[in-house]
């Protein structure tokens, strides 16, 4: 029983034979002295109780001991741990464990440090220094818990202190005088900080600090529980610091947390890391069918997301020191972040690979404000931006490159879907088994952030890749499953190769979430030489179709990376965009599929067909062209292509080509039906692979043509090589075209670059260019540095009728020399001119300046003719010849009137403007509805054509080139025709510098009568028609806007391009629908 040989005062025993149990007790007549090392611990006035119950599991005799212990000194007059003797109780579990004493006393120590000093004085045991913040904590109570084990000879003292900041939570601290195997003793410290959740439940954080005998002003507190506690970020942090976060109130179900305190620099700072829900134990994927066994060899594979709040700046070294204190704790601070963390709130992701292997990634961004009150009821996938990492589809990816047997883990990702209140962890992994490789794309596991249900864990697989290779056959395929905004898609890409033959196919299937209509596209390509003449040798072809899918073209600069081009070229020729620095490279096939998804959205009622050819021209030019035709909701014809030429095509080993040019081409013709509009845009652009003479001499540039009819942009057009004037602000639907030019870094000290442009729009012609030369020689040491530059720029604006141009020209030459002897001395000289040019007749002004050392010369020069602005065109004939439809020949036959009705129309010219001498053709009339046929009749003047119309559906439309101000009949305004909603003022013939006060659109409608003598006559039929209905048209402002008569070209470069809502013509329909005639009666 591990009791000493001592006398008894009394003994009592009670036996229950029926129940096979007994109980009793006795008291000792003398003290019990226990050797604790530096002194003898005396137990006084002891009493012992014992009991036994055979009905209990593991029945054994139980002993209880009660007595008094004196710890008021060390037996030699040393320091006092307690103020007085204390009552203790003890149990005796068995001989292998000894007596376990426990009790409570009081102390007069003020701080933790005072108490430790007393323990050291009492037990004569050396102590390691504590972090000063902990040792200076004031005790919140004089009560001390005491524990002692007779088997180990170890004492433990439990005290409580008050945290000095925040809500002043309680700090529990334990001092252990622990005996070692050598017989010496060692003081060991343990502690915890007790916080509270929203329900008032205790959250106990274990204190972690260095106990190796070195001074440290750093410590941690760690919390972990399997039972989630609901709280908020600010409520938790505010209990420990006076500087809680004020801009976020993140609601969390707390399972894991870390708190760090650092005063190593003399200024205290704290850091909090809060785990968002349970860590994702990815080794649990072993429960999945088929592929589950592959993950069972991945021990402790977990992915966790944390929110970090800092009150100060923590460097990478600071966080490494903190992480070195952590052993079995799973959480880690992001010590992989070389930039450290500043004060604020951040997100961090930790990948744990096996015991003790951690990969920590800091998101490097302030916590998204949209997560305030997290999670909201609705919201899309929330991207977590990160420096040097790849963001795709709202997932934050980073490289891992770890191998577990046949399983290779290439990258992992993290994402938050706020609409689902779920955190997602993603894996891209591959399994290699002999000739077969299986790739698991975005293998994912997720858990819910709402309600603290950590058991709500789901697994998924977004894609599967297969690769099989046994020479000469190779088969590769990728299949993806994606859900975006509730839309589920199934995508696939596959290739087959055998010898020189390669086949590939890409496709996608989905159902529209709104209508339930299925949608599909498939595009296949064959990479195999077919043949043909030398200038058009076909070595591949492709074709595809789609229903309920749209086809969107990319910007012309992205044509080389467009999915349709990549698929038509074949996998072995797929060009890749330059990867972001530090970002992982995803599966290239899945990249094509993601691109295809973005450019082929579901569009119910839209269909397209596509066909492409890959060909060479005399083995010099390699080209690809893909034609697509879209129809259904709108009609669209697109051509997209890529051509490249390398000179010479096979330069040979160690021989550099003279140059390479790669041109991306894109053409689009679109017809919209409701409302009607058409557009045609053709674009071409050199890619970044183009150069001449040297790869250091890069070529740039592009061209574009665009024209729009109908819709909001009716009548607009643009033609450009190299872009627009610097002051011109192109509308959003204009193509953006880079300058045609070069940039040649000839040597370290010599650079030349230049560019030019030309553009034509409805209101201006623009042209210009820039040439820059730079010679710069700079070396270290006393050798002088020399710099010389030449800059020349021209920017022209031209009115195209009347012909007038204005231009800004700047020329500048700078030379400087820096001498580094006896100090630094600079010698410089410059000369330049800033010229304004105009014409015709040519003239201008120049501001000249020159500077040599400290001497500056400045003067202005005028030359040539004065700038009188645009000279108006003298006649309307000149305007017609330049801008209006050509006149019809005097011998040409005019269209004959219809059998049902005749219509003629004319537009009155602006007052004071005489008609051209030739026959002019400014108006036209057509039967736009109700035309049922035509008949040709031989007449004396030749063949005459008669048109048959259906009077019930008859519709006649007129069109005028000149904007109309009034619709007339019989020399007066047609009653009932309202033009108040149209633009009828502000019109003018801008090239003539004349305003239009009146432009009449006169209509005559008659019925043809054939007389007995063969002559023809017409009677007025206007009463059979409703008043003409005018329709709107947009016309070029540079031709018909009276405000475009200014002489300052620069002020009008961004002026109105179109006169909108002018009257372009009228539509005529019968007033009363045709009625059937009466039937005749016949006698029977």
Residue 879 DSSP code: H
Nearest Cα neighbor of 403 from 507, 294, 264 is 294
What pLDDT is recorded for position 638?
A: 92
Integer CA distances (angstroms), 770 to 701, 754, 791, 841, 1027, in order? 13, 5, 8, 25, 58
What is the model's pLDDT at position 334? Answer: 76
| Counts for the chain of helices (H) and strands (E), in that order | 9, 61
Q: What residues are paired with 524 via a beta bridge?
A: 505, 543
Return d(Cα 211, Cα 209) in angstroms, integer. Answer: 6
Say how far apart CA 740 and CA 374 lie, in whole Å: 51
Residue 660, class by beta-carbon neighbours within 10 Å (0-12 exposed, 13-18 middle, 19+ buried)? middle
Could you give the 3-state DSSP secondary structure of residue 386?
A: coil
pLDDT in tens, 123-169: 777 777 788 888 889 999 888 888 888 777 788 889 999 988 888 88
Q: Dihedrals φ, ψ of 3, to 5°?
A: -105, 150
Query: Rounded to whole angstroms, how far apart are CA atoms 918 and 885?
Result: 12
Of 909, 883, 886, the residue nearest 998 (C-alpha): 909
Q: Which of 526, 517, 619, 514 is nearest to 567 (CA)?
A: 526
pLDDT at 131: 85
Let me know: does 409 contact 402? Beta carbons within 8 Å. yes
Backbone phi, psi, residue 480, to 5°: -120, 145
pLDDT at 78: 47
Q: How many angstroms separate the CA atoms of 1055 and 1057, rounded?
A: 6
Q: What is the DSSP letter of 736?
A: P
Which residues of the chain are under the pLDDT cut of 50? Answer: 1, 74-78, 277-280, 290, 298-299, 356, 361-392, 451-455, 574-586, 889-908, 919, 1046-1047
Residues in the chain: 1084
Q: What pLDDT was estimated at residue 579? A: 32
Q: Which two tokens stand for residue 936?
A: 């040709």
d(CA 1025, CA 1029): 11
Q: How far apart are CA 943 and CA 54, in angstroms?
A: 131
């Amino acid at each position: 029983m591990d009791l000493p040989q001592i006398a008894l005062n009394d003994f009592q025993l009670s036996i229950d034979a029926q129940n096979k149990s007994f109980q009793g007790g006795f008291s000792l007549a003398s003290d019990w002295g226990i050797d604790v090392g530096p002194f003898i611990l005396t137990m006084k006035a002891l009493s012992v109780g014992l009991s036994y119950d055979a009905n209990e599991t593991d029945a054994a005799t139980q002993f209880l001991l009660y007595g008094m212990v004196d710890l008021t000194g060390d037996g030699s007059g040393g320091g006092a741990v307690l103020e007085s003797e204390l009552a203790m109780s003890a149990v005796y579990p068995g001989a292998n464990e000894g007596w376990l004493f426990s009790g409570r006393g009081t102390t007069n120590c003020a701080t933790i440090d005072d108490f430790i000093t007393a323990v050291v004085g009492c037990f004569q045991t050396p102590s390691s220094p504590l972090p000063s913040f902990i040792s200076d904590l004031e005790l919140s109570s004089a009560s001390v818990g005491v524990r002692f084990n007779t088997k180990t000879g170890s004492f433990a003292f439990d005290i409580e202190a008050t945290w000095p900041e925040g809500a002043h939570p309680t700090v529990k601290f334990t001092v252990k005088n622990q005996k070692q195997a050598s017989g010496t003793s060692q003081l060991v410290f343990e502690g915890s900080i007790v916080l509270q959740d929203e329900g008032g439940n205790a959250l106990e954080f274990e204190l972690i600090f260095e106990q190796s005998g070195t001074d440290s002003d750093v410590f941690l507190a760690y919390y972990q529980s399997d039972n989630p506690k609901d709280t908020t970020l600010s409520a938790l942090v505010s209990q420990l610091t006076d500087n809680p976060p004020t801009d976020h109130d993140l609601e969390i179900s707390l399972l894991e947390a870390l708190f760090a305190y650092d005063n190593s620099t003399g200024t205290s700072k704290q850091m909090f890391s809060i785990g968002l829900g349970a860590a994702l134990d990815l080794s649990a994927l072993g429960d999945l069918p088929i592929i589950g066994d592959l993950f069972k060899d991945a021990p402790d594979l977990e992915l966790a997301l944390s929110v970090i709040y800092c009150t100060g700046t923590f460097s990478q070294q600071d966080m490494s020191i903190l992480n070195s204190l952590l052993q079995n704790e799973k959480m880690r601070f992001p010590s992989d972040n070389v930039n450290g963390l500043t004060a604020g709130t951040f997100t961090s992701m930790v990948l744990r690979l096996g015991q003790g292997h951690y990969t920590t990634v800091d998101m490097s961004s302030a916590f998204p404000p949209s997560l305030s009150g997290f999670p909201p009821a609705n919201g899309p996938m929330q991207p977590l931006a990160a420096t040097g990492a790849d963001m795709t589809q709202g997932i934050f990816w980073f490289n891992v490159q770890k191998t577990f047997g046949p399983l290779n883990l290439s990258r992992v990702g993290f994402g938050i879907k706020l609409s689902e209140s779920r955190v997602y962890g993603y894996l891209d992994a591959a399994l290699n088994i002999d000739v077969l490789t299986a790739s698991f794309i975005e293998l994912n596991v997720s858990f819910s952030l709402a309600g603290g249900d950590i058991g709500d864990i789901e697994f998924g697989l977004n894609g599967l890749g297969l690769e099989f290779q046994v020479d000469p056959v190779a088969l590769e395929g990728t299949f993806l499953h994606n859900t975006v905004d509730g839309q589920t898609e199934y995508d696939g890409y596959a290739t087959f190769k055998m010898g020189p033959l390669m086949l590939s196919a890409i496709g996608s299937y989905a159902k529209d979430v709104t209508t339930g209509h299925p949608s599909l596209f498939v595009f296949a390509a064959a990479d195999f030489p077919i043949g043909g003449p030398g200038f058009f040798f076909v070595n591949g072809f492709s074709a595809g179709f789609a229903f309920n899918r749209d086809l969107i073209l990319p910007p012309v600069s992205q044509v080389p990376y467009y999915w349709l081009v990549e698929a038509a070229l074949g996998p072995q020729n797929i060009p890749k965009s330059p990867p972001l620095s530090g970002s992982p490279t995803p599966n290239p096939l899945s990249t094509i599929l993601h691109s295809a998804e973005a450019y082929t959205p579901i569009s119910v009622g839209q269909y397209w067909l596509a066909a492409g050819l890959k060909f060479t021209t005399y083995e010099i030019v390699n080209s690809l062209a893909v034609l697509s035709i879209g129809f259904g909701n709108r009609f669209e014809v697109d051509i997209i292509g890529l051509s490249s030429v390398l000179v010479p095509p096979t330069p040979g080993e160690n021989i550099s080509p003279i140059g390479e040019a790669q041109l991306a081409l894109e053409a689009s013709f679109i017809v919209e039906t409701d409302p009607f509009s058409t557009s045609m845009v053709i674009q071409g652009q050199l890619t970044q692979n183009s150069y001449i003479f040297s790869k250091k001499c890069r070529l740039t540039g592009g061209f574009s043509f665009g024209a729009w009819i109908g819709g909001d942009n009716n009548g607009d057009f643009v033609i450009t090589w190299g872009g627009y004037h610097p002051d011109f602000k192109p509308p959003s639907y204009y193509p953006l075209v880079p300058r045609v030019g070069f940039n040649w870094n000839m040597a370290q000290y010599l650079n030349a670059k230049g560019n030019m442009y030309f553009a034509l729009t409805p209101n201006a012609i623009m042209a210009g260019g820039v040439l820059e030369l730079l010679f710069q020689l700079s070396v270290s040491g006393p050798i002088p540095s020399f710099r010389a530059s030449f800059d020349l720029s021209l920017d022209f604006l031209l009115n195209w009728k009347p012909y007038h141009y204005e231009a800004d020209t700047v020329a500048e030459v700078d030379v400087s020399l820096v001498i580094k002897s006896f100090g630094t001395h600079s010698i410089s000289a410059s000369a330049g001119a800033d010229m304004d040019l105009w014409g015709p007749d040519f003239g201008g002004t120049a501001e000249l300046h020159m500077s040599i050392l400290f001497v500056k010369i400045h003067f202005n020069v005028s030359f040539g003719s004065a700038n009188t602005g645009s000279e108006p065109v003298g006649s309307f004939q000149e305007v017609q010849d330049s801008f209006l439809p050509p006149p019809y020949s005097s011998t040409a036959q005019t269209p004959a009137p219809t059998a049902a009705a005749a219509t003629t129309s004319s537009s009155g010219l602006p007052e004071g403007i005489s008609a051209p001498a030739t026959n002019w053709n400014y108006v036209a009339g057509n039967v736009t509805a109700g035309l049922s046929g035509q008949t040709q009749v031989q007449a004396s003047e030749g063949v005459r054509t008669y048109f048959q119309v259906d009077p019930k559906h008859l519709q006649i439309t007129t069109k005028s080139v000149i904007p109309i101000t009034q619709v007339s009949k019989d020399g007066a305004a047609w009653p009932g025709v309202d033009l108040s909603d149209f633009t009828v003022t502000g019109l003018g013939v801008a090239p003539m510098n004349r305003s239009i006060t009146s432009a009449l659109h006169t209509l005559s409608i008659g019925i043809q009568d054939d007389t007995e003598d063969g002559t023809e006559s017409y009677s007025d039929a206007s009463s059979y028609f409703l008043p003409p209905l005018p329709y709107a048209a947009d016309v070029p402002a540079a031709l018909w806007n009276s405000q475009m008569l200014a002489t300052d070209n620069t002020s009008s470069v961004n002026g109105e391009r179109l006169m909108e809502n002018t009257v372009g013509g009228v539509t005529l329909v019968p007033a009363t629908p045709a009625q059937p005639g009466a039937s005749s009666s016949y006698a029977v």
